[in-house]
Structure 1
Amino acid sequence: MLRSLDIRDMLIIDRLELAFRPGLNVLTGETGAGKSILLDSLGFVLGWRGRADLVRTGAAQGEVVAVFELPAGHPAREVLAEAGLEAGDELILRRVNSAEGRKTAWVNDRRVSGEVLRALSDTLVELHGQQDDRGLLNPRGHRQLLDAFGGLDAQLDAVRAAWRARSRAERAVAEAEARLAALRAEEDFLRHAVAEMTELSPLTGEEAELDARRRTMQAAERIREDITRAHAALGPGEGAEGRMGDALRWLEGAADRAEGRLDTPLAALSRALIELGEAVQGVEDCLEALDFDPGALEAAEERLFAIRALARKHGVLPDDLGRFAEDLQTRLAALDAGEGDLAGQRRAAETARAAFDAAAAALSEARRAAAVRLDAAMAGELAPLKMERAVFSTGIAEAEPGPEGRDAVAFTVATNPGAPAGPLNRIASGGELSRFLLALKVCLVRGASPLTLIFDEIDRGVGGATADAVGRRLAALAGSAQVLVVTHSPQVAAQGDHHWRVEKRVEGDVTLSTVTPLDAAARVDEIARMMSGDTVTDAARAAARALLSS
């Protein structure tokens, strides 16, 4: 419930404090007195997009503070929690507009964005006027209104969840089909490339190893002859090893008679023979390493050139051929398995579509039942509003499937017996539209509403008994929700639980607007003024008293 509204320096309001109460709150006043400014100011603090030039001329900034009662379980508490804001029993909205157009907002003294204010406003206030494009005149909102009347939140949530699952499944099929089509486009290349890779089977590091072996074998042909000669010169027999062995035997035979003079040469010669043996072994190892099949060089060169050519062909390094081959094999495997995977995804999509169809059908059935109840409820509400001959009908037609099902909902009316039914904005007059909207709001409100309902001159175009009927329905509606009504109708004003008069005054060269709460006597005068004009007569006061007591 809106408890208070504090406005400073907004348009022609310098300072205004309003304390609203439960029930039907009525604001009256002459045209141009500033009633719409109150709604503009309330819309401003709620984050609604409206006129930009709100700051009073000469003021540095304008400010609006709105205080709402927030009982336990109020939907605004969820919005506050999502925004990281604490929620108490009182919700204070404050918004400032500088003369330069900068807007700053606070919720319970915490800075917030305009988006947070608008999210909160959806749970706090609902504004309706004669040209209410968010309700009756906008067919896109009819389905939402029907769902709200029928209490179809659970069925609607089920349809939305099924639609999301269907969309995901169909998106997965489309992506799988696109991947498979891309793979099919390169199938010949993949199979040929994988066959090449499989036949060659290159190993990591093999190119460098083959290159080293090739250089070694090429060099071996040039150096083998010299190494063989060196081996002959160093080896046994006529080589150095054989001659040194002979020398060692001859000296050992003479050492006993040389009285120790050969000990040192013999030791040196023994060491030399050991070193020479190692040298001969090393040369033999080298000769063995250089001993290769003449065809091995040709084979090494052929494989080396094949690896390098395949790497150039695919634009990769020779050492990356193995990883490239794995990637090709993965893509080919995906191609070979693609049909099976795609078939499984198509089955999953069919299952998701069937689940959505079932949920949408259940929702459609619930909507048709709710439409029957709504039409009956509207008939019951239109009679007291002096429209007992009008027929309100909720039409449901099949539409393109979407997250809210496959139904298009449209409200049609026939205002006179035998007249053809048609859309509200074509069939109903301004006054009739107001009463249709009011009847619909009465039907939609069940129990205590968390919203403060604001009706801006919804009674325009009606008078007499019809205006009295509108006022009584507003009063009935105020039994379930706080209602604020801006009205020019004395019949509607007389039904109010609380009454304020909006007046405009001129102080010097400045025009200002004030709002005055009315006591019983002042209320009689105000309703008399609404009935008779500027000159309030005793007869008008008597008529006002009669209207208030009825």
Structure 2
Amino acid sequence: MTFRRIRIQGLGVIDDAELELTDGLNVITGETGAGKTMVVSGLGLLLGARADAGLVRVGVGQAVVEGEVDVPVDHPAARRVEEAGGDVADGLLLARTVAAEGRSRAHVGGRSAPVGVLTEVGEHLVAVHGQADQWRLRDAEQHRILLDEAGGRQIADALAAYRARYEAWLASRARLAELARTSVERELRITTLRSALEEIEAVDPQEGEEDTLRAESERLTYAEELRNAAQQAHDLLAGPDGMGEDQPFAGELLSGAAAALAPASAHDEELAGLRQRLEEIAYLTADLAADLASYASGIEVDEERLDEVHRRRSELGALLRRFGPGTVEALAFARSAAVELATLDISDEDRAALAEATTALGSEVGRLGWELSELRRQTAERVGQEVGAELRHLAMGSATLSVHVAPRVVEPAERDDESGLVPLPDGRTAQPRSHGLDEVEIRLAANPGAPARSVARAASGGELSRVMLALEVVCGGGGVPTYVFDEVDAGVGGRAALDLGARLARLADTAQVIVVTHLGQVAAYADRHLVVRKSTDGQVTRSGVAVVEGAEREAEVARMLGGVADSEAALEHARELIGRRAAGAAS
């Protein structure tokens, strides 16, 4: 589940660039102003970011960004694309165009789609961490998801057990609420349903019966006319008894015509064929005449049966006017009415038993939710310690991260309706939700003595990217298959830069990572190194992207380290850093 290719055309300084990405750590570098940020902006457009006509390159009609993603057909992103009418059989194709006048269009899986679909698909594929795009830290729900990822199988199993009880409790509460309607209203509904079922049972309609009766009524009503018509047709084909020689009939005429052709047909194949067709028609005419005679003899004028059919149709019509245009609808109503009656018509003892079961389920929800909360608190303590250790390697040694976990306790004065609350083992009550009882918030104290605040408000853009990197590393990086980091190296240098590169590489062991950086120490850890290069003819400036390897890569890392690409000292340093990464990967 990784991006394989991203193509950007007409976006800012980028004229036409294609990024061939790989698993692991993809590093994007380039001189200031070359257009590195445009790569992230292009990816943002591909993931549903708001279109800005100002990003369209001057002199072109539109900017186009395309992406190819390897994704299994059962992945949530693939399922969402299929729901939108797209095709993922050969991989997932995403595309976004932004016109110079501001109009934007999106395509997913080869089909046009609202931009919102790109956003939904993107949230299953990529987490972008940059100064202006920290949605995982701004969304409180994502704090809980990160914590649960860190808890692994233990929290997943506890959450599954809790959720099963929670859903059973909701269903039991809904059933009890249905029974809690006023007794007068409930009894009236029971009486209505029972009366309707008795009426339908008394008539006992059969599916499709109205059509069968309609056809039989027509046949009986016009029996004499039907019989006379069939007999007359028979007589014209086969002749009636006593018909004279001066009254020829169709069968006799056909036989005569075939006999007239017989002598001459021996001398010509075409005429023989015509004679054979005449004989076949004569045979068919005789068969048809026999069938007409049988039909006419089977028609009976039965006034008694006709009256019976009329009575049944009248009885059935009265029923269908009340319960459906046809017997299919009337029988469907009877089935649904029987189900509803069974849910309403229960004894007081059964209702009391249901209330008791609902209370017991609520207690189970509270107990399992408390156990889940305890696991989350234990995990939160570990995550805080481990992320703190990571931050010390990312030039944030003074920062302290903590994860606040607490059930949504409802105080007595706030309990307008206790039916939606569950008891906790400590005697309090809490408001349960599908994911548990807890409110989870990741908090950061940026400096010693500073109050811990929600991490999205307590750190700068570059610090947020590093906090997010530490969290992704500690929590397992299992949320999405691809991570993008922009400005993660802001304010970082020296030894901390090497540590930053090492942690990006560690995250890349389990996910695809794309990072835009100006630090050679980070670039040295790349599994694939892409350089954004700017060129000009004196009038027009454009940028492209190229993969660098071997000596070309060493020169780029050297430039980043010392400002020059041909300094032997810088080149030696670059080789040392790249070799250290290669040795670490080999071990």
Identify the TM-score tier after normalising by the shorter chain. Answer: 0.5 to 0.7
| Candidates 550, 553, 556, aligned match of 1:520 | 550
CA contact 2:395–2:492 (8 Å) conserved in 1:
no
1:43 aligned onto 2:69: no
CA contact 1:60–1:99 (8 Å) conserved in 2:
yes
Q: Residue 317 of structure 1 corresponds to which residue in structure 2?
A: none
Does the C-alpha gap of structure 1 residues 162 and 114 become closer, same or farther in structure 2, counting only changes over 3 Å?
farther
- Aligned-partner Cα distance in 1 for 2:164–2:116: 26
Aligned ranges for residues 118-517 of structure 1 at < 5 Å?
Answer: 118-130=119-131, 133-136=134-137, 139-151=140-152, 152-160=155-163, 162-167=165-170, 169-170=172-173, 179-180=181-182, 346-347=355-356, 349-378=358-387, 381-382=390-391, 384-385=393-394, 391-399=400-408, 400-413=431-444, 423-424=454-455, 432-445=463-476, 451-507=481-537, 509-517=539-547
Local SS of the residue matching 1:458 = coil
Q: Residue 282 of structure 1 corresponds to which residue in structure 2?
A: none
Local SS of the residue matching 2:505 = helix
CA contact 2:388–2:401 (8 Å) conserved in 1:
yes
The offset of 1:366, in angstroms, is 2.8
Q: Residue 93 of structure 1 corresponds to which residue in structure 2?
A: 94
- Aligned-partner Cα distance in 1 for 2:347–2:51: 56
CA contact 2:483–2:511 (8 Å) conserved in 1:
yes
Alpha-carbon displacement from aligned partner over 1:396-428 (angstroms, at most 9, x marks no partner):
122243232221222334567787655445665
Local SS of the residue matching 1:150 = helix
Query: Which runs of 5 or more structure 1 residues have no equivalent in the other structure?
Result: 191-334
CA contact 2:73–2:88 (8 Å) conserved in 1:
no
- Aligned-partner Cα distance in 2 for 1:182–1:121: 53
CA contact 1:79–1:120 (8 Å) conserved in 2:
yes
Amino acid at match of 2:502: R
Instruction: Name which one, 1 or 2, has greater alpha-carbon Rg.
Output: 1
- Aligned-partner Cα distance in 2 for 1:74–1:183: 48
Alpha-carbon displacement from aligned partner over 1:31-76 (angstroms, at most 9, x marks no partner):
3322222122222223333535443333333322211223576443
Local SS of the residue matching 2:118 = helix
Does the C-alpha gap of structure 1 residues 436 and 64 become closer, same or farther in structure 2, counting only changes over 3 Å?
closer
CA contact 2:477–2:507 (8 Å) conserved in 1:
no
Q: Residue 275 of structure 1 corresponds to which residue in structure 2?
A: none
- Aligned-partner Cα distance in 2 for 1:63–1:436: 32
- Aligned-partner Cα distance in 1 for 2:88–2:466: 37
Query: Which runs of 5 or more structure 2 residues have no equivalent in the other structure?
Result: 189-343, 409-430, 581-587
- Aligned-partner Cα distance in 2 for 1:62–1:132: 21
CA contact 1:43–1:50 (8 Å) conserved in 2:
no
Local SS of the residue matching 2:135 = coil
The offset of 1:133, in angstroms, is 3.2
The offset of 1:138, in angstroms, is 5.1
Alpha-carbon displacement from aligned partner over 1:240-292 (angstroms, at most 9, x marks no partner):
xxxxxxxxxxxxxxxxxxxxxxxxxxxxxxxxxxxxxxxxxxxxxxxxxxxxx
Does the C-alpha gap of structure 1 residues 109 and 428 become closer, same or farther in structure 2, counting only changes over 3 Å?
closer
The offset of 1:391, in angstroms, is 4.6
Local SS of the residue matching 1:501 = strand
Q: Residue 28 of structure 1 corresponds to which residue in structure 2?
A: 29
The offset of 1:462, in angstroms, is 1.1
Alpha-carbon displacement from aligned partner over 1:502-541 (angstroms, at most 9, x marks no partner):
2334445443222232233333333333334479644444
Alpha-carbon displacement from aligned partner over 1:422-457 (angstroms, at most 9, x marks no partner):
54456656665443322211122368x861211112
CA contact 2:162–2:368 (8 Å) conserved in 1:
yes
Amino acid at match of 2:442: F
Does the C-alpha gap of structure 1 residues 106 and 520 become closer, same or farther in structure 2, counting only changes over 3 Å?
same
Amino acid at match of 2:476: V
CA contact 1:501–1:515 (8 Å) conserved in 2:
yes
After superposing the two structures, state which structure 1 stretch, 62-71 or 524-533, moved more: 524-533
Amino acid at match of 1:463: G
Local SS of the residue matching 2:128 = strand
- Aligned-partner Cα distance in 2 for 1:98–1:420: 46
Q: Residue 309 of structure 1 corresponds to which residue in structure 2?
A: none
Amino acid at match of 1:440: L
Amino acid at match of 1:476: R
Alpha-carbon displacement from aligned partner over 1:331-387 (angstroms, at most 9, x marks no partner):
xxxx99998897676546434433432342232233223324434543554455466
CA contact 1:394–1:411 (8 Å) conserved in 2:
yes
CA contact 1:396–1:408 (8 Å) conserved in 2:
yes
- Aligned-partner Cα distance in 1 for 2:450–2:118: 45
CA contact 2:521–2:561 (8 Å) conserved in 1:
no
Local SS of the residue matching 1:401 = coil
Does the C-alpha gap of structure 1 residues 366 and 52 become closer, same or farther in structure 2, counting only changes over 3 Å?
farther
The offset of 1:103, in angstroms, is 3.4
Does the C-alpha gap of structure 1 residues 468 and 503 become closer, same or farther in structure 2, counting only changes over 3 Å?
same
The offset of 1:129, in angstroms, is 1.9
Alpha-carbon displacement from aligned partner over 1:154-190 (angstroms, at most 9, x marks no partner):
544554555455455555656665x529969xx9xx9
CA contact 1:398–1:408 (8 Å) conserved in 2:
yes
Does the C-alpha gap of structure 1 residues 72 and 445 become closer, same or farther in structure 2, counting only changes over 3 Å?
farther
Does the C-alpha gap of structure 1 residues 141 and 74 become closer, same or farther in structure 2, counting only changes over 3 Å?
closer
Q: Residue 112 of structure 1 corresponds to which residue in structure 2?
A: 113
CA contact 1:29–1:35 (8 Å) conserved in 2:
yes
CA contact 2:127–2:136 (8 Å) conserved in 1:
no
- Aligned-partner Cα distance in 2 for 1:124–1:498: 20
Q: Residue 56 of structure 1 corresponds to which residue in structure 2?
A: 57
Amino acid at match of 2:493: G
CA contact 1:25–1:499 (8 Å) conserved in 2:
yes
Root mean square deviation of aligned Cα = 3.9
Local SS of the residue matching 1:513 = strand
CA contact 1:458–1:487 (8 Å) conserved in 2:
yes
Local SS of the residue matching 2:526 = coil
- Sequence identity percentage: 42
Alignment coverage as a number of residue pairs: 401
- Aligned-partner Cα distance in 2 for 1:428–1:530: 27
- Aligned-partner Cα distance in 2 for 1:396–1:49: 34
